[in-house]
Structure formats: structure tokens, C-alpha cells
Structure 1
Amino acid sequence: MLKLEGLLARALDVTLVLAGAALASQIRFDEATQGGFYEVFIALAAAFTLALFPAFGIYASWRDRSKLGLAGQIALAWLLVQLCGVMVMFSMHRADLISRLWFTYWTATTGGLLILSRLATHLVLGHVRSAGMNLHHVAVVGSGAHCDAVIRRVASSPASGFRVAAAFNVAPGVGGLNAKVPTFEDRAAFHRYLRTQQIHELWLALPLSQEPAILDFVREYRDELINIRFMPDLRSVALFDAGMIDLIGMHAINLVASPISPNALMQKDIFDRLFAAVVLLGLAPLLLAIAVAVKLSSRGPVLFKQKRKGADGRVFTIYKFRSMRAHTEAAGVLTQATRNDPRITRVGAFLRRTSLDELPQFFNVLRGDMSVVGPRPHALEHDDQYQKIVAGYIHRYRIKPGITGWAQVNGYRGETDRIEKMEGRIAYDLYYLSNWSFALDLRIIAATIFKGLRQSNAY
């Protein structure tokens, strides 16, 4: 059965969908309601909202999670809702009866209302928790720097709703804990304190080698209403995602694995294909004009095709507008473009400076070979070269390559004539993999549009 908060959240979302539609009608038609298939479309959106939002974790607890991530999840879920509604209207052959301008107003208005309502709710909850209300009291078990780091992290995040109420030092002989909370070294006294002070959470900040202690605490509280969480220090052994997963019905901890969950990858893929379709439709005249300009600039095909590696190392054919004069190179040899490269045509130079030569890669996104945002794919010859000498290079293959990426908007574009340039690019790629969120993707897209289209090192 759904909790009251969940029911209220769903009711609010449906209300905002209806309110957004009414506001769009008022803007577009000077009246708040429209009959006929407008009402059908709005009802479909409300139904799809109730069906799809839970799948995106919109109604799950976002305590101490990124609010920008929540905004991104809502935006993606709402765009998918609208896409589903459009598809149903197309199947009914009634899409032509809906005003495109009204649909645009409705989509933007409702999306904004949904995001603002959630952010406002979490802002209020953050102030409430910072004031000492609606808290989850936590007891931390551990020793040394890792345990201290956990306690400091909670103290530095007052809006998260967690407060450390006690700590237990499992290795008093090694050193004390730098915690400004009651600290225990006697286990019996620690247990009495937890049972009398209404502690909600027990966090075990212990190394993997402390299995006996972990089992002791789990057995002690397994029949009580205390959430027990294991927070091992995996920084020295884990890469990317060290979270618990369900693997063929068994629990497993990822030490080196894809940093993005399958559910998040699905959402990213849906957004990528929707975004690519919109871009290709919206920029069709520009694509045609560029194709004509490339054809007239020099002999050769309009598109440049080259093999690149994608997710899991699968090879695919990447598309670009041709920016160089047709030429051949020896097998296994690839000469990067340099400043004032005589092979580059005048049209090609403009396309490369503005990144317009990359636009055909949206077809790669539609095909599922690439993502809108991700590590930029390199030529196979460069992959073979740098994989052997740049630490972490192989992990770029854990997700789809992107048309743009975190490294590119931070200045790492163009020629990699020194190993330091490639190392810097890979460092940014690995940061992206470790910190991916839908909000980060939107930030990179915005940066690409507003500042990334012209850069001095793109030639």
C-alpha cells in the first residue's frame, strides 16, 4: 500500500500536469480549457505520469541525494511522458489537431512546475532538518581515519537529515576517534545507549577484515527496528561504483565495474535518442546546407567515415562531415590534424572550429552507437597506442562514447601531440564516469552550446 506522502506526491504531480495544460491554453488561446482531443492528450499525460514516474525513482526518498540529479530525473521522466502521449496521438491519427505551440508551452510549463515543486519541498525539508527536526539519529562503529571521515561527512551535511548521536571505537589501542559526540569503548554500554536514545541507524564504518565484529553487531540488532548499514573503506581497491548490487539473486559489491547502473543507462539512452531525433529534425535545413557546401568545397564524399570503439570495446562506424581533401594513408598510420594543416579545406576549417562537422554523429546516437554526452571516441590506432601508456584509458569503454564530453568543455579538444594532453583528457573522462548524473549531462550540453562551439585548440 502506498504511503500517504506518496499518494500526496502523485496527486500533486497530476494537479501540476493539469495546471500546466491550463496555463498553456491561457497563453496560447486566451482561455484556460480546450475541449476535444486536447482533453484526451492531457488525460493520457496524467496517466503516463502515474505509470512512469515511479520507474524513474521520483517518489523514492531523496534524503541526502543530489537535488540537481532529482531535477534531471524529473525532466527526463516528463519528456518520456510527453513522448508516449505524442505516440498515442499519432497512432490515433489526431496529432495534427493539437497546436504545436500549445504543446511546447505545456511541456515547458509543466516541466518547470514539477521541478520547482520538488526543489521547494526539499528546500523546506532541508531547513527543517537543519533546525533539528525530522532527523535520523545515527550511531557509527569504526576506528581511525575512515570512521572520522564518515562522522565529519554527516556533520557537514546538516540538511541531509542525519545526525551522529554516538560512536563506538572498535580499536581503542590504536587511537581515539575525533568525534564531538559520546564515544564508547565498552560494547555493553554502547548497546544500552542505543536502546535508550531512539537511534534509527547503525553505520558500520569497518574494513572488510573486521568480519567477526560486523557479524556481532548484525546479530545484536537484527530483531530490532534499527537500520544497519555497512560502510567499508573501499577507496584503495574499488574503482567507480562500490555499491551493493543484486547479481543473479546474490548480493555483490562492485569493485571494478560500470559506474552507471543499468536503470540509469536505460534512462540515458532514452534521453539520447529523443534529443538526437529533435536535433536532426530541427537542424535538417542546416545539415543539408553543410552537405552542399562540403560537396562543392572539394572532390570526395560528403561524409567522413571511420572505425571507432564504443561501449565494451565494440567497433562501430562514426560519421562526420568531411573537412579534409580526399587522401590516403598507410595502413595502421593515422596523422592527426594540426594547425594550418594543408589537407583541411576552407569549408572544413570553419566546420572544425565550430564543431559543426560533428553533427552527423547524431545519427550514431539514433543507431545506439554513441551517446550525446560521454568520453570522445578516438581512432583505433590511437586506442592501441594510448591504452598501453595512459592509466585508466581502458575504462573509457565502460559506457558509450559521446558527441561531447566533460573533457571537451574543459578545453581538452583537438590534437593530442603530447602524452600529457591525453592524460589530462582521460582524467576528465574518469571524473565524468565516477560522477555521472543527468544534471551533469545537461550541464555539459549547455556548456557545449554556449562556449564549446568555438575554441582556439579546435582545428
Structure 2
Amino acid sequence: MAPGGGSSATSGEATSFVSGRPSWLRRLGTTLVAADLVVVAAALAIAVAVGFDAGSDAPPPSGDDLVSQRWLAVLLGVAWMSSLSLHLSRDRRVVGTGPDEYKRVVTASVRLFGLVAIVAYLGSAAYARPLVAVAFPLGTAGLLLERWVARKWLHSRRRRGGWAHRVLVVGSPDNVRHLAAELTREKYAGFEVVGVCLPGGADEPAAVTTAEAAGLPVVGSLNTVVEAVRATGADTVAVVPSVGLTPTALRRLGWTLEGTGTDLVVAPALTDVAGPRVHVRPVAGLPLLHVEPPQYEGPMRVAKGVFDRVVGSVLVVLLSPVLVAIALAVKLTSKGPVFFRQQRVGRDGKAFTVFKFRSMVVNAEQMLAALAEQNEHDGVLFKMRADPRITPVGRFIRRYSLDELPQLFNVLRGEMSLVGPRPPLPSEVERYAFDVRRRLLVKPGMTGLWQVSGRSDLSWEDTVRLDLYYVENWSMTADMLILWKTLAAVMKGSGAY
């Protein structure tokens, strides 16, 4: 039957079909096994080569000890590979995700070598010491590096197209469009939307037209999900809230997909909330999502302030030669002051003066009105790639964000943070919608998610989305990760003008 037909996939009828795993998924699994094996074997081989602790008071190892050590190394290699498998470190649901994958690798290694260390201590097995002292840290670090390289390689493949799960999105039109847009935007996540199933399917022409206008082919209704999976070759069904998707219908859909190799994922209506804030709480058989409130006050805010001032002070000292060199370049190549001062809006809507190296001519603000029609940015920002107001030195320092280094003094004064939303102009804040004003709940930052995600190449919608995500989910760990990624973004110089 065609996908738009009326056969029910959620009515409890026996429907069977077999959907094999994508070939790229099998290749990825095989590659990870081979890479893990190389790292584990290399770590154990180095540990055996290091030998026993020459500085210990123990007598030199006997020939039997050396043989025992080599056999233990072989057994450890098998056990290590098995532990990585048992902890599902190569599971398709975590490969390429980052933190969860790394956590499983570390857990698998720590548990194995913790057990080996205890057994070696109780059995006075001196030949096991190099394997624990050398192979464990070296191999764990090597596995993490290997998985990081594999993750970057996988993301690169996905951005070029390919090596992605084929997703069928099921639910109401608005929710389907929202999820599809998010999955399309984050290509590196590896989910390619190949079709959607709407409540009424082809019987709702208006909804179908809207979905197809957004590039989403309608391939069925809520009653023909299985047929749509077969027709599109989807290996994942993503379900979003819809009137017709009752708990009973969703449970029956899960039963129908059992044994087919097709994953069923349920996307809640709640979006842009980071994992640490979400906890699953089973209540009466219902997996309820408990969402922790955002952290704006308390010890975390104090810790962030201390971190900003300490790191900011260190950066000012280390970068002082660079600051002096840029100041001289600005002063000697164009008329006007070295620093550009401008009113910006900070936390809770309080105005402050931001410091930057001057990258434009002195009368740049007066020239803005004449250039307004050439604005290349949507929303409330003004951006222009070939802005005639920018000086030659200014173009260089803007490309690598060197003009923003004086904002370190704003950080030391407590007006800004190292990481946060972009500091807006008062004129921009006046045009903010209600939800956009949530950007003002935290201090603006020298860098942020907008900086590491495209800078000026981002649309206004994406800039707001990233800033609001940061406001809702910030943490010290995320701040340090953004600072690390900022260095790569600045070195590339892309998206800055």
C-alpha cells in the first residue's frame, strides 16, 4: 500500500519488515574497533617494553615473571576491548556525540584497571605494575584522542553530506517543521530528514503544501508510519507531539518497529535545554522529564566572577606587548583616538562603556545613516562586508578579533564576562522582543556561542537562538569549552567583518 494509504501501523495489527543497518554504520563500527585495538595494543606494548621499576628494592624479575607479564598483557588487551564493548562505547547512539562517548571510554578503562590493580596487590604480582602504571594512563589518553579524531572526521563527512541516519519525522505540522529545521541546521549530528508523516497525511492539503514548501516531503499519515519507513528507507523514526499520537498509539508503534533495526526516538516539546538540566523521573510508569531551573545566582555566579577576573588579569599581563603594538598601529595609521568607547547594555539592562581598539574612521557613527540601506544582516544588527568606514589596520584587527582585546578591562571592572551573549547597543535593546530580552539576565561576554558558531555570518535568528541557549544552560565547563573553541575561530578569521 502507498504511504498515504489507510493501513494502520499503530492499531496493533501484525506488521513485519526487516530494515538493515546502514552500511556506513557498519563501516564506522569496524573502523572504531580497529582503531581501539591499535591504541590498546600500542599502550600495552609500551608498558611491556618499559619493564619493571628499576629503582625498586625488589629483586630483578625472573624469566617466569617476564613470561607472565606478556601473557597478562595479552589477556588485558582482550579484557580492555571487551570492557569497551560491554560499556557500549561504540554504540551508534553515542558515537560522535562527545562527552557521553568519552565518559564510557574512561569508565570502561577505570573499572578494568581498578580490578587489575586490586588483584595484583593481593597476589603480590610485581610484573603487573608496569601494565597498570603505564598502559592505563597512556592507553586511556590514546583512546580519548582517537575518539576525538574519529568524531571530527565523522562530523566532517556529515557536513559534506552522507554518513547520517535517515529520519522519518512523525507528528503535528508545526512540531515536525521545528524538529526538521533543528536537525537540518546541525548537520554534524548526523540526522537527515527523508520524509514526514502528518496526522491527516494527504487528506490535509494545506498542511502538506506548507511542509513541502519547507522542503519536507509528506510520505504518509500517523496510521502509515511503517509503510513510510519502508518507502523512504528510514532507519530512525522521530516522534514529536501531535493530537493523534496517544500514549497507546505510540506504544503500539514501538512494538511494530521492534526487530526491524529502526530506532524510535521521542522528541519532547521542550527544546534548547541542555542535558545536565534534564532528569528522567519515572512516575507510575511514565518517564517524566524534570527540568532544573537556570542558574543565575548563587555560588556558580560567584565562581564565574572569580574565574573572569583571575583569567582576565593573567591575559592582560600576557598580552600586554600585543596591546601596545596594536595601540601604536592604530595611532600611527589613522587620525583619532586609539580606543573606541561606546555605550552598551549589560546585565539587567544596566548601561556601561565598552572599550575596543578603534577600527573605523572617527566619524563612523555619522556615516551609518547613509549606509543603512546596504546592511547585509537581518534583524537589529548592522553588518557590511566592505564597510568603507573600516581602516586598513582596523580590517586586520577585526578579522582576528584583536579589536576586542581592550574588553578585558571591562571584564576586570565586572561589567562583562569572558563568555556570554554579545553586548548589545541601547538602540538594539529597544527593538528586542520579549524573549530576546532574556539575553540581559547574564553579563555580556567577550566571546560566546555566537563567536564559535559563525560570528557575523550568522543570521539574527541564529544569533538570538545561540545566546538564549547559553543564558538558559551556562556552566563553567561550557565556558571553558567555548574559550577553547574561540581560539580556533579567531585563528581562522572567518565570519568577522
TM range, smaller chain? 0.3 to 0.5
Structure of higher RCO (CA pairs closer than 8 Å, 6+ residues apart): 2
Larger Rg: 2
TM-score (normalised: structure 2): 0.43
TM-score (normalised: structure 1): 0.46
